[in-house]
Amino acid sequence: MARGRSNYNSNGKLSEESPKAKINKETLKEALVLFAYLKPYRAKFILSLIFIALSALSTSLFPFLLGKMIDAAAPGGAASMPSGFSSGFTLGLKEIRWGLNTTLMLIFLQLTFQTIFSFMRVYLLTEVGERSLADMRKDVYAKLLSMPMTYFTEKRVGELSSRISSDLSQIQDAISFTLAEFLRGIFTLVIGLVFIFWISTKLALIMLAVVPVIAVLAVVFGMRIRKMSRKAQDQLAESGTIVNETFQGISIVKAFTSEVFEIKRYVKSIYAVVDIAISNARYRGAFISFMIFSVFGAISFVMWYGANMIQTGELTMGSLTMFVIFSVFVGGTFAGFAEMFSQLQKTLGATQSIREILRGKGETIDISEYPGHQSITLKGNVRLDGVAFAYPSRPDVQVLKNITLEAKSGEQIALVGTSGAGKSTIASLLLRFYEPTAGQIYFDEQEAGRYALTALRSQMAFVPQDVMLFGGTIKENIAYGKPNASDEEIMEAARKANAHEFIDRFPEKYETIVGERGVKLSGGQRQRIAIARAILRNPVILILDEATSSLDSESEQLVQEALENLMKNRTSFVIAHRLSTIRNAHKIIVIERGVVTETGSHDELMQANGLYRKLNEMQFEFTT
């Protein structure tokens, strides 16, 4: 998928600009597919297009009426015809003569209609754009959530966030603003050209001979200026990276007394931005000067030629005024098309990205089963038969090789081994984040693939080493295990997790905000909330991934007690770093380089004189 250019926004956060795509039959076809989201609102969309046309028409009447007012003010201008509508419309438009008062009334009538039409087009297109965008966001978000874990290992979180925010916003802008301006520009251009040729064919040909030259040069200058602006933004992003890296590693900077070095590095970067900005200013200055000279020069030439025509009686003062204003409309529309073309490219690039997500093959998720709805009830028997696995990103590296193990209902199975042996990979396979490349996993002697993912995972709970809490309240984080739980159920789960006591000490108690990723809580507190979440879920199968490895002794004891409460009468897979915590496990499985090397109880493995005993002795020596 094409990615946008990374920049730092005004908040100093990394953002991505929507990529541009070439305008061709393929990209336009992609865009039209997404515009199917307009179908439920097609009546309002069509009505908004009508108001766009009416708005352009009413706007174009203003120069015509202004010209007639000037003609009415000219000596003898209104005398040839009486004021009013009846006699005026019996002749051609050029011969119509209205009085000043009538013309002023018509102008205000035109402005009234223009106001109504403009309001309706903006209101209707915004409503259609926002509603269709909300539908699109829902589908894209649902599709992303359904994608398998392999998808998320290949994509950056910032990139996915950008797809939902900037790409969809770009599409919404196209529906609500760019499309409206483009259509309005087309109507204005057509009506403007009709009027200037109607006023004077000679002046129209002169004007059209100048406008394309100005437009082409404006596009060339504009492309160069945008290129220089992008270069300046990239350089600014580089200086932003330096700031982020420096502050994130401030302890290293100070420890190595590198403050002066970092200042010099930053100064060099920001002065590079200054050089690019000054160079860009030369182009912008030349461009602005050229446009001022060209536009006003062209207007002056047209006025000079038109003045000669007035002297010869070929044109009236009002008609020349009409012509000049219509020429400005036409020229402004030409100039606006360049920016609209750029926006259209960005929109097509955004639609390609969104379409790629929507076409992706996600996991089958039955929303009706979640939360709380279960179509199956597991007993908790789990068996891995000859399971092998390699991560899709590294297919040549076999992480697991012919793993065979069995857990009876209610048993506690401990997975032990050195770092990188494949313990956490087994946990991921049990949760069906990935599928084995060989072998099979059975739940209650049924192949894992026979169960709906949602139904299967709804009977599991996972407590990781690095607990992820959401930025809401403690109550909301515990209730994540069972969204419809009562307050009593939440508090009971917290008590079993040894969390109620510390929660009760907070002024807001269960309504305490935990902060982003739970930063306001200690590691032990986060672990106990995660355990309370798992207790509330009441799973049949429990997976614990080194849940106590990074805690101090006091916190470890509290968490270990909570884990013992959690594991009662449940099939539990415990990935253990501290071997003292799994001595009472029904079965300890030692994994080395993706292969099961030892299986047995603590006493049996200590007598075997293998890797397990060696790891135990190393930990005992370290603690003493």
88 pLDDT above the threshold of 50: no
Here the tokens at position 279 are: 């160079």
Give the pLDDT confidence score for residue 205 in this predicted structure. 83
Has residue 534 got a pLDDT over 50? yes
Q: Return d(Cα 29, Cα 46) in angstroms, integer.
A: 20
User: In this predicted model, what pLDDT tens digit does every residue of 169-181 receive, in sequence order?
Assistant: 777 777 777 777 7
At residue 619, does pLDDT exceed 70? no
Looking at per-residue pLDDT, the higher value among 285 and 620 belongs to 285
Q: Is the pLDDT confidence value at 518 over 70?
A: no
Separation between Cα atoms, residue 411 and residue 98, nearest integer Å:
98
Instruction: Provide the pLDDT confidence category of residue 8 given band limits of 50, 70 and 90.
Output: very low
For the chain, percent of residues with pLDDT exceeding 70: 77
pLDDT at 363 over 80: no
Q: Which of 104-113, 118-127, 144-153 has the lowest mean pLDDT?
A: 144-153
568 in helix, strand or coil? coil
Long-range contacts of 193-200 (CB under 8 A, 24+ apart): 193/330, 195/60, 195/63, 195/64, 195/322, 195/326, 196/323, 196/326, 196/327, 196/330, 198/93, 198/94, 199/315, 199/319, 199/322, 199/323, 199/326, 200/306, 200/309, 200/314, 200/315, 200/319, 200/323
pLDDT band at 267 (very low <50, low <70, confident <90, very high): confident
The pLDDT value recorded for residue 370 is 43
Question: What are the strands of the beta sheet with 571-575, ordered from one edge?
Answer: 460-463, 541-545, 571-575, 412-416, 587-592, 595-600
**Residue range 23-44, pLDDT digits in tens:** 556 656 656 666 777 788 888 8
* Model confidence pLDDT, tens digit, residues 552-574: 566 667 767 777 777 778 888 88
pLDDT band at 374 (very low <50, low <70, confident <90, very high): very low
| Bridge partners (DSSP) listed for residue 440 | 385
- Is pTM beyond 0.75 here? no
The mean pLDDT value for 358-367 works out to 61
Question: Residues of the chain with pLDDT > 90: what percent?
Answer: 0
pLDDT band at 85 (very low <50, low <70, confident <90, very high): very low
pLDDT of 13 over the 60 cut: no
3-state DSSP assignment of residue 272: helix
* pLDDT band of 624, cuts 50, 70, 90: very low
pLDDT of residue 459: 83
**Residue 4 scores a pLDDT above 60:** no
Q: What is the per-residue pLDDT for 24?
A: 53
Mean pLDDT of 395-423: 84
Q: What is the pLDDT of residue 6?
A: 43
Which H helix or E strand runs over 281? helix 259-311
- Over the stretch 186-218, which tens digit does the pLDDT of each residue have? 888 888 888 888 888 888 887 777 766 776 777
Of the ranges 14-23, 291-300, 323-332, 525-534, which one carries the lowest mean pLDDT score?
Answer: 14-23
pLDDT attached to residue 386: 87
Torsion of CA 82, 88, 93, 94, to 10 degrees: -20
Mean pLDDT within 141-151? 75
Q: What is the pLDDT of residue 20?
A: 54
| Numbers of helices and strands, H then E, in the chain | 20, 12
Instruction: Please report where in the chains the tokens 């002065």 appear, as a residue.
Output: 271
614 has pLDDT over 60: yes
Mean pLDDT of 533-544: 84
Query: What's residue 63's pLDDT?
Result: 81
**Highest mean pLDDT (candidates 175-189, 567-581, 587-601):** 587-601
Write out pLDDT tens, residues 344-362: 666 766 676 777 777 767 6
Question: Considering only 70-84, 285-299, 398-412, which range has the smallest mean pLDDT?
Answer: 70-84
Question: Residue 2's pLDDT is what?
Answer: 40
230-234, 475-479, 486-490: which has the minimum mean pLDDT?
230-234
Q: Which residue has the higher pLDDT, 615 or 382?
A: 382
Work out the mean pLDDT of the chain and round it to a whole number.
75
Task: Using pLDDT thresholds of 50, 70 and 90, give the confidence band for residue 147.
Answer: confident
- Please give the Cα distance from 518 to 532 (Å, whole number): 15
